[in-house]
Amino acid sequence: MVLVSAKEMLVDAKKGRYAVGHFNLNNMESVRAFLLAAEEGKSPIILGVSGGTAKYMGGYRTIADMVSGFINFLKITVPVALHVDHGTYEEALDAIDNGFSSVMFDGSKYPIDENIAKTREVVEKAHAKGISVEAEVGAIGGEEDGVINSGECADPAECARIASLGVDFLAAGIGNIHGKYPAGWKGLDFDVLAAIQAKTGDLPLVLHGGSGIPADMVKKAITLGVSKVNVNTECQIAFTEATKKYFAEGKDEESKGFTPRAVLAPGLEATKRVCIEKMTLFGSIGKA
């Protein structure tokens, strides 16, 4: 199995009224965990890579080669897309040239005309190589690679302008945020989501900040056009808690318990469990 564009899997999700999970890579263990979860659940999957992760893991080519190698080694048969998450213009182009099958150009920080101009260029370069493109309108709240946003709701008319460029899926702010949701969070704005969908037709929509959003809200968002849900924080927390428990129970003092593979194994399994739970919530189990 080779890496595939995310376009077809999201078109299928849109038609089937389910969503495909986008899970952020953080290390080698997360690569294994997500691929094994997808294979076990017979679910398509999108593996996301932020700019910070790309630097940590050796760049886009290194990650693309690693993921492709694991797909072959683990005999993965389900569709896997390798996707840039919240990429700058330069990061999107770098990934296009270095083995990724899907990219996100996040131009939400720019005035809409500049966002459109840069998005158009990314679409042209990516589509020439069969690579899918995600764009963003309306900054997602929280922190992503050091950029902090309070969160905002996208303008449906601006979403329509970006959609007309031929992007394959669109992230639009509807009150969602990255990271942990604070007390008093108002929840998703479904009226805005419905208005965006009305303006963008059959275009698959993306819900960022999927960690911590109540299950009923996630399910409702999917009925209103969301076909891709991003998850990162919950997987990171699960990994860390499992690792803490390993040390708290003194497992590192047992024979060979100090080896990195042994130390990180519980985190890998915890990450895999969360991934399968999310795929079940999104309705993608058995859809590969």
Q: How far is CA 52 from CA 178, 198, 238, 268, in A?
A: 15, 35, 20, 20
Per the residue annotation, which of 12, 65, 85, 202 is the catalytic one?
A: 85
Contact 115, 154 (CB under 8 A): no
Is the dihedral angle over the CA atoms 106, 221, 205, 272 positive or is it negative? positive
Helix axes 89-96, 112-127, angle to 10 degrees: 0
* Cα–Cα distance for residue pair 259/229, rounded to 1 Å: 35
Is the dihedral angle over the CA atoms 31, 99, 279, 36 positive or is it negative? negative
Distance of CA 17 to the CA centre of its chain: 18
Is the dihedral angle over the CA atoms 130, 70, 285, 60 positive or is it negative? negative
Return the H-helix or E-strand segment holding 45. strand 45-49
Closest CA to 167 of 209, 129, 121, 207: 121
85 is catalytic: yes
Q: What positions carry a catalytic annotation?
A: 85
